[in-house]
């Protein structure tokens, strides 16, 4: 009686880089992005127009800017649900600076400084006091948005300087908007930060085991504080671009954007439990969500349907890997 030889299992590190790339989550996202692009081109004859495609980028660039920083934060095992409210508060402060008679440089600096201050407050409570980030940022989400409503009520700030409109409406060259170019530059910057620096390796280490990271010499509190600062800064940048594009400030600005940012990050392959994820995945997820949103708009699909789609997408992206793992074990 002969026994069947046990099949050899080749460790993942010994397989070729091309093979690993083709089996990666990013490869699947790329295929989905191509499929959505083709579907949109058949769904509407206006989709393939260069200027329409350029307009489609406005559906994801501002959210993706925050998603890059949020990805690092979630990889480190934390989360910030106050990002949309930071945008509202930063936009409100920019409006106050504008009404005080200051120009575009001061308005932009006010937005960035407000984002940094909000991020510092979140970082202080989480990194210094050790409070859970989800609890802290739910609280500051209400706090920041509430301040905007107190200042503005049902009013709006309008009349921003003409040159301020460039950040949200200007084009660097042909159909390439300032926001799209900024998105590309930030994507490269965050890729280098996460995947090519010691700081990025520290982020992964903290997300996998913060205690082990602490004993290995990583300043865990400092890294967490920097990540919240970075998320606040990116929210400030998004506030500048969004306010510039809309040309006005209302306290309801960016309502619900935190859900889209988190969905973008999780869809990009970042584990909601921390410890894994990549910037290329987030970039592809942002493009997919932008194409889907733009496609729905071309088909006149109601906004509530998009909200339902985002909710299902978030749940499915979190649940599918666990279901697949359970099936493999079974």
Task: Give all domains of the chain, ordered by start, each with its CATH number.
Answer: 51-329 (1.10.3470)
DSSP strand pairing (171-173 vs 176-177): antiparallel
Q: What are the pLDDT digits (tens) for 219-236?
A: 999 999 999 999 999 999
**Sequence-distant (≥ 6) Cβ neighbours of residue 4 within 8 angstroms:** none
The H-or-E segment that residue 54 falls in is helix 50-56
Q: What is the pTM of this model?
A: 0.91
- For the stretch 289-313, pLDDT in tens is 999 888 888 888 887 888 888 788 8
Among 319, 321, 266, 320, smallest CA distance to 289 is for 266
> What's the confidence (pLDDT) of residue 49?
87
């Amino acid at each position: 009686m002969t026994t069947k030889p046990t099949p050899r299992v080749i460790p993942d590190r010994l397989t070729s880089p091309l093979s690993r790339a083709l089996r990666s989550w990013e490869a699947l996202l790329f295929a989905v992005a191509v499929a959505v692009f083709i579907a949109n081109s058949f769904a509407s004859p206006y989709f393939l127009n260069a200027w329409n495609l350029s307009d489609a980028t406005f559906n994801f660039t501002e959210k993706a800017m925050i998603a890059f920083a949020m990805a690092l934060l979630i990889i480190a095992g934390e989360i910030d649900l106050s990002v949309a409210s930071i945008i509202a508060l930063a936009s409100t402060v920019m409006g106050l600076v504008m009404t005080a008679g200051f120009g575009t440089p001061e308005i932009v600096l006010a937005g960035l400084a407000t984002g940094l201050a909000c991020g510092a407050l979140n970082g202080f409570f989480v990194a210094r006091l050790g409070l859970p980030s989800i609890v802290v940022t739910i609280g500051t989400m209400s706090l920041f948005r509430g301040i905007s409503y107190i200042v503005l009520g049902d009013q709006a700030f309008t009349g921003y300087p003409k040159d301020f409109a460039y950040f949200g409406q200007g084009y660097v060259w042909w159909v390439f908007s300032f926001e799209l170019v900024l998105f590309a530059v930030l994507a490269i910057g965050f890729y280098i930060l996460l995947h090519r620096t010691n700081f990025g390796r520290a982020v992964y280490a903290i997300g996998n085991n913060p205690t082990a990271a602490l004993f290995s010499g990583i300043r865990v509190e400092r890294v967490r504080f920097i990540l919240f600062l970075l998320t606040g800064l990116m929210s400030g940048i998004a506030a500048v671009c969004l306010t510039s594009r809309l040309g006005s400030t209302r306290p309801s600005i960016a309502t619900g954007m935190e859900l889209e940012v988190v969905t973008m990050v999780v869809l990009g392959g970042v584990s909601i439990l921390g410890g894994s994820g990549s910037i290329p995945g987030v970039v592809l997820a942002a493009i997919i969500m932008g194409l889907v949103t733009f496609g729905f708009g071309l088909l006149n699909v109601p906004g509530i349907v998009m909200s339902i789609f985002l909710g299902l997408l978030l749940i499915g992206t979190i649940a599918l890997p666990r279901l697949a793992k359970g099936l493999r074990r079974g």
